Chain A
């Protein structure tokens, strides 16, 4: 019963201050739109970095001619490095498994049917504990007769400079991305708080009268908070709609034109549905918070 009164009060105040309400809605809309483009981009880059990171393993190619004893001794050396703490884990990939893996990464598998036989070597795929120490691991294994030295990197393949660069980029993206999201959120709250302050300032006489007839602070505050939530949610819904249009007409065509059709990408980002829910919640929260906090100043008796 009280709630319906507060709701009516909120609607009344939105209607009687159309200009300011529209300003608040547009502010939320812009802030949420920026947030809505930033969050998926950030998660996309994050996911891409993680995928690249997981590729930072060392491949040790085993020569087709290597004897079982030679392979066992190579495996022994790797186990040795594992017990020294340099190697996190390793797997043996047979020729057959290597072919399977290639198949799964190709979207057009008919190409493979053209091969007369399996050209792929067997290998040990080593995941290092610290990608920065790849060179040390490689040096320790070099010279083992099981290694196929005709392969890339003389049989031990890892990307030394790429590894280091990628690692520092990953860190940079993680930290700056987090800071940027934080700054954006704070900016949004301040902007909305400011707009709502305008609305409350315009009605400070009204608040004064309410206090004189014995309204408690929360009695005065609720309609403003509900008003903030309504404006926040409307603004967020509007920007979700705008984001949806951007996704369908700009982002998706662009991705389709620029992705290599031969490979499938495992890089992913947040789904649009969950993004929409997060943004609308954020809009409502920011609106409620903005008006609730701003009103404090006017409620000091």
Chain B
């Protein structure tokens, strides 16, 4: 990882935490993201319930903990609460009850104007890629760095690096809609990872892709996980989950119904 992430900052709640050299690892915070760099769990859900309106339940009393560096599949049918789970992680939604903690931060207490800084520490990959249509591949990836106020020189160095890592080196001046679905998803992953976030969230990243392409995307996410990044991937791609044999968290009607290590998509019949 780059040396600047070793810079230690006081993790106070104020808008601009004063720079103070402290050796306490629990007090360390990612310079760009607000996420505390510690060895504790990356994600903690404690009795989280999310209601839409008065009677629709998105999540129902879910408690789960994901350690730093883990690879987790979030599985379940449509409407089981996978998307609610993901949207709670980036504070696109707030929990109705319970607490969501990401990187040591209680998101319920995070002020709204701090949300952008939270998101800089979390890479996001979506089923529909969410690329900026008028910009070429290079500019799409560079945007994530411009947002954090990175120096132009650093941007010129990091973007080609991540593009070659994701196998897009020769596509940098293409527009998103000139690329195939698999290539677009690679761009989206490159953008999500260019900041070297400590948490990467993928919501159905292979949902629009054919099986062969899906495997390529999966391998890319796995390699990212091997660098130490926690990956949470929502999917209902049974084959993929069975092949990987990673931790599986299953949701059904908003309830947590299964949480197993080295598991398959469905419970194996005894």
Using a CB–CB cutoff of 8 Å, the interface residues on chain A facing chain B are 1-2, 5, 12, 16, 205-206, 208-217, 219, 301
Contact = CB atoms under 8 A, between A and B. Distances in A.
Given A213-B119, A216-B147, A301-B92, 16 more contacts: A1-B152, A16-B134, A205-B130, A209-B130, A209-B131, A211-B119, A212-B90, A213-B120, A213-B143, A213-B144, A214-B119, A214-B120, A216-B113, A216-B116, A219-B147, A301-B115
Contacts of A215: 116, 147
Closest 7 CB pairs of A and B: A214-B120, A214-B119, A215-B147, A213-B144, A216-B116, A214-B116, A16-B134
B119 A212 contact: yes
Interface string B138-165: 0000011011110110000000000000
B195 to A, nearest CB: 8
B190 to A, nearest CB: 12
A8 B191 CA distance: 20
Nearest to B197: A214
B124 interface: yes
Given A209-B132, A301-B92, A214 B117 contact: yes
Contacts of B33: 214
Contacts of B91: 301
B112 interface: yes
B21 interface: no
Contacts of A5: 146
B116 A211 contact: yes
Nearest to B33: A214
B80 to A, nearest CB: 23
7 contacts: A210-B143, A210-B147, A211-B116, A212-B124, A213-B191, A214-B116, A214-B147
A12 B134 contact: yes
A210 to B, nearest CB: 7
A5 B152 CA distance: 10
A213 B144 CA distance: 6
Nearest to A206: B132
Contacts of A216: 113, 116, 147
B53 interface: no
Contacts of B118: 214
A213 B115 contact: no
A301 B112 contact: yes
Contacts of B270: none
B210 to A, nearest CB: 25
Contacts of A2: 149
B134 A214 contact: no
Nearest to A216: B116
Nearest to A212: B124
A208 B130 contact: yes
A209 to B, nearest CB: 5
Nearest to B93: A301
A5 B146 CA distance: 8
A210 B132 CA distance: 8
Contacts of A16: 134
A218 to B, nearest CB: 10
A51 B134 CA distance: 60
Contacts of B120: 213-214
A115 to B, nearest CB: 80
B25 to A, nearest CB: 24
B17 interface: no
Interface string B26-48: 00000001000000000000000
A261 to B, nearest CB: 62
B130 A214 contact: no
Given A1-B152, A5-B146, A219-B147, A213 B133 contact: no
Most A Cβ at <10 Å: residue of B33, B90, B116, B121: B116
